[in-house]
Amino acid sequence: MNDFNETVIIGRATEDIKKAVYGDKIKYIFIVAVNYYSNKTKQKYSEFIPVCFWKDQSFKELDQLEKGDSVIVNGRVSIHSYEKNNEKKWVTEVIGKYVRVFKQNKETKDMADLLQLIKSNKKLLDEITASSDIMFSDDLTAELLSEDGAVE
């Protein structure tokens, strides 16, 4: 049986990065807002997904993350529990292994703008699509590799 736990999130940071130190590790923590459209209700909704990265040392890409920045995160979903005041609490978060931060910019107002920005930067597009650390769905890969709007 092949088990697979891989996720890609593209959205906006809802807060500045938070850091916590645990022994010799730094935990970077932030929330990513991801929009989606419901065909059932014909409305847009947002989901707020907690993301963390564990690093051995300071990580420039995350140190510069600010509220409103667009991000691409690749990682795995983690669900775990802990006990507090004799009550079991559950935590769901994405443990990131790859991140790319796009500073808040009037050019990237929504997902379509962000995808267009990525496609217009050949070096960035090649980095993202060639990375062995990040996996996209077939639909997203096709969108990124489509010719419309791509700059050579």
Per-position DSSP letters for 100-142, written without gaps between them: EEE---TT-SSHHHHHHHHHT-HHHHHHHHH-SS----HHHHH
* pLDDT of 1 over the 70 cut: no
- Euclidean distance between CA atoms 82 and 74, whole angstroms: 25
Answering whether pTM is above 0.85, one says: no
> Domains in the chain, start-ordered, CATH in brackets?
7-145 (2.40.50.140)
pLDDT digits (tens, 9 = 90+) for 90-122: 999 999 999 989 876 555 566 677 777 777 777
- Could you tell me the two tokens for 7? 């996720």
Task: Give the rounded percent of residues in the chain with a pLDDT score beyond 90.
Answer: 51
Q: Assign 6 to helix, strand or coil.
A: coil
